Amino acid sequence: MLKIRIIPTILWKDFGIVKGISFDSWRRVGSLLPAVKVYNTRQVDELVIMDISATEQNREPDFDVIDDIADECFVPLTVGGGVQSLEHIKKLLRAGADKVAINSAAYDNPSLITQGAEKFGRQCMVVSIDYARKENGDLYCVSQSGKKALDIHPVEWAKIVDELGAGEIILTSVHLDGTMKGYDLDCIQAVASAVNIPIIASGGAGDYEDLYLAITQGHASAVAAASMFHFTQQTPLEAKIYLRNKGIKTRI
């Protein structure tokens, strides 16, 4: 079994980092650069930075800011938000991102996944799959920061992006985002069993046990969290120790 990755997620909006519940990211929780510097010291395996302003404002990524952040980030960095073209991917990688996450653009132009994988390597291409749940329990994908409902199930979309060349998937439950009530284990397990690429579980982590369950029951290859690291005393290092004590291989 490969070592499990612990990945804090940072939502970046208008020069600050924010958090909320169910994609309503209204609460400011700090500044971007200081947060990156703090995580550098906390033995995180990777960082994910999502520029949600870019999506909302329909603009390209802020390459200059990413360049500045990458200079201070000493762990692998995934950047998403506003990525619409091969040129955007190239500029983010040149700015210092190790991987680029795409969401809305993947639905509008699925060939972008393949083109990115062929030009820059499959390991650079991360597809972010956000999904919601109907009252009857049925799941469906969403784009545009959760504002646009799509007529496709997350498992089916995961299969497609795997075939197109995605290197891994960030799977996020809109319903559980920011609630700290635990991950959607059933969906994580369903997606993980349907594809041949790593799944990063996202949306709902509240404590170390939630991370453990996402790995052991959901079969996630990595666990992403935001609120539990922003709003509690829990740390990525303690998460790794907890998981290691339960038999999960982590990088310490």
Burial (0-12, 13-18, 19+ Cβ within 10 Å), 169: buried
| Alpha carbons within 13 A on the beta-carbon side of 176 | 26
Indicate whether 144 belongs to any domain.
yes
Indicate whether 48 belongs to any domain.
yes
What is the pLDDT at residue 183? Answer: 98
Indicate whether 251 belongs to any domain.
no
pLDDT tens digit sequence for 127-142: 999 999 998 989 999 9
Can you spell out the DSSP letters for the chain? -PPBEEEEEEEEETTEEEEEETTEEEEEEEEHHHHHHHHHTTT-S-EEEEEHHHHHHT----HHHHHHHHHH--S-EEEESS--SHHHHHHHHHHT-SEEEESHHHHH-THHHHHHHHHH-GGGEEEEEEEEE-TTS-EEEEETTTTEE-SS-HHHHHHHHHHHT-SEEEEEETTTTTT-S---HHHHHHHHHH-SS-EEEES---SHHHHHHHHHTT--SEEEESHHHHSSS--HHHHHHHHHHTT--B--
Indicate whether 252 belongs to any domain.
no
Q: Which domain holds residue 56?
A: 5-245
Q: Is 0.85 surpassed by the pTM of this model?
A: yes
What is the pLDDT at residue 96? Answer: 97
Residues with Cβ within 8 Å of residue 247, at least 6 apart in sequence: none
Task: CATH number of the domain at 167, please.
Answer: 3.20.20.70
pLDDT tens digit sequence for 171-223: 999 999 999 999 999 999 999 999 999 999 999 999 999 999 999 999 999 99
Residue 23, pLDDT > 80, answer: no
Number of domains in the chain: 1
pLDDT tens digit sequence for 29-67: 568 888 898 898 888 999 999 998 887 788 899 999 999
Residue 24, pLDDT > 60, answer: yes
Indicate whether 250 belongs to any domain.
no
Indicate whether 13 belongs to any domain.
yes
* CA–CA distance, 134 with 246 (Å, rounded to integer): 35
